[in-house]
Amino acid sequence: MDWQLFGLSFVTVFLAEIGDKSQLAAIALGGSSKSPHGVFLGSITALILASFLGVIAGGGMAEILPTKVLKSLAAIGFALMALKLLWVESK
């Protein structure tokens, strides 16, 4: 196992998930349910499944497209999301 890649993936996903909608939903569900353990297990399972699907899709795309094209598409996608956030926030 590549521990450096593991650590990078962990830190990236952990920081990306702090304060997002899924965490707020888990807080709301955990506070209003009688079984916070169930909310925890459901949240963990959902994050694992979503991450698994992302890795599978990324691996499939990497087999179809050259690395340079895939990185370029990712960069363009992130730039478009940033521009959209800036556009919406400035209105």
pTM to 2 decimals?
A: 0.66
Q: In this predicted model, what pLDDT tens digit does every residue of 30-47 receive, in sequence order?
A: 999 899 999 999 999 999
Give the CA radius of gyration of the chain.
Answer: 17
Residues (pLDDT < 70) of the chain are 89-91
Q: What is the per-residue pLDDT for 20?
A: 81
Report residue 83 as tokens. Answer: 């521009």
Q: What is the Cα–Cα distance from 13 to 64, expressed in whole angstroms?
A: 25
Show the 3-state SS of 26-81. Answer: HHHHHHHCCCHHHHHHHHHHHHHHHHHHHHHHHHHHHHHCCHHHHHHHHHHHHHHH
Q: What is the per-residue pLDDT for 90?
A: 61
